[in-house]
Amino acid sequence: MDALTLLSEAQQAGLRVEAVGGKLRVRGPRTAAAMVERLRAHKDAILTALAAAPKSHADREIARFLRVAVPDADGMGWHDPATRAPVVPPAKYFQNPG
């Protein structure tokens, strides 16, 4: 079975599937145990599909910030050392929307 189809079915069953250090982390209702076993049987394909999946906008912004940001000398902000341009931390992605 196709890994993306399995992931879609897992999501419909209320499961959250993520790759953590070469392992699958599956969270959700215990009633979906049969689906968890199906995921386990296709672990390698699932891990490959998760690795190839596009990242969210927030994940990309956080990765960019961590890649380029250097603290200012006064410790009050961040900048890109290559361009000396200010870099705004992606804090809005961590704020509670409520």
* pLDDT tens for each residue of 55-74: 777 777 777 777 778 888 88
pTM (2 d.p.): 0.55
Closest CA to 24 of 10, 13, 12, 9: 10
Note the pLDDT of residue 57: 76
Q: Do residue 61 and residue 89 come from a single domain? A: yes
- 66 lies in a domain? yes
Closest CA to 47 of 15, 19, 6, 27: 19
Residues in the chain with pLDDT < 70? 1, 90-98
Report how far residue 49's alpha carbon sits from residue 34's, in angstroms, rounded to the nearest whole number: 20
Note the pLDDT of residue 93: 55
Report how far residue 25's alpha carbon sits from residue 45's, in angstroms, rounded to the nearest whole number: 14
State how many domains the chain has: 2
- 98 lies in a domain? no
Instruction: Give the domain extent around 74.
Output: 57-93
**Residue where a domain stops, chosen among 52, 70, 85:** 52
Note the pLDDT of residue 96: 59
Note the pLDDT of residue 94: 58
